């Protein structure tokens, strides 16, 4: 039996969709309240202001993603650890489709609204990736590479791929030898994994 979300969970769900759709600056508590069929003061009962709501939306997701990466990416098995890192990140974007849009907007805007707790979780993910890459180098499996560059290759590729679906379809529709359909994010993950492993392998 499906559990009915609480009012707070509903607010977070709708807010996530709204922040993904129009960004932090253009999102309004009035519109979020309207979509939740509640009053604006009802939002203030759970969240101090718009930034607190934004922080709750983003930080909960960053914390969950970081936790999954820490648990699944074993630095002692660098190839499997890197494969897990990419698989978990991709699976997370599929599970939370609005996350790509919110994160892409933050990156494009210099991350000026990105809460400090999110930065700490990003640092945790990058730290785990750095451990995986360092151990791979120590074992002679990987060549030395900047972890931040590999992180950007993974994050930017998947986030941009997910947020540009409509544009890709419009562009490929104009090509003579265009494929019938653009592959979905889930379908490109193995190829992305192999491409990054090939770039790193000694």
Length of the chain equals 202
Superfamily of domain 59-200: Tetracycline Repressor, domain 2 (1.10.357.10)
Q: How confident is the model at residue 14 (pLDDT cuts 50, 70, 90)?
A: very high
d(CA 162, CA 128): 24
> Residue range 11-22: average pLDDT?
94
d(CA 103, CA 95): 15
Interval 106-124: pLDDT, tens: 888 888 878 899 999 999 9
The whole model's pTM is what?
0.86
Spell out the domain ranges in the chain.
Answer: 59-200
Interval 166-201: pLDDT, tens: 888 888 878 877 666 678 889 999 999 999 999 999
Residue 114 in contact with residue 106, Cβ under 8 Å? yes
């Amino acid at each position: 039996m499906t559990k009915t979300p609480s009012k707070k969970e509903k607010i977070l769900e709708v807010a996530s969709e709204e922040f993904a759709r129009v960004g932090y600056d253009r999102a309004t508590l009035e519109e979020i309240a309207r979509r939740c069929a509640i009053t604006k003061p009802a939002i203030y009962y759970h969240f101090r202001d718009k930034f607190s709501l934004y922080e709750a939306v983003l930080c909960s997701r960053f914390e969950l993603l970081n936790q999954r990466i820490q648990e699944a990416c074993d630095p002692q098995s660098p190839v499997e650890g890197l494969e897990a890192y990419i698989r978990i990140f991709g699976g997370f974007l599929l599970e939370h489709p609005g996350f790509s849009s919110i994160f892409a907007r933050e990156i494009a805007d210099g991350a000026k609204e990105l809460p400090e707790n999110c930065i700490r979780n990003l640092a945790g993910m990058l730290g785990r990736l750095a451990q995986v890459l360092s151990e791979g180098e120590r074992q002679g499996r990987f060549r030395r590479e900047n972890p931040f560059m590999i992180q950007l290759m993974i994050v930017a590729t998947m986030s941009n791929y997910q947020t540009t679906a409509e544009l890709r379809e419009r562009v490929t529709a104009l090509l003579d030898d265009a494929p019938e359909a653009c592959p979905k994010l889930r379908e490109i993950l193995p190829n992305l994994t192999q491409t990054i492993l090939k770039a790193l392998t000694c």
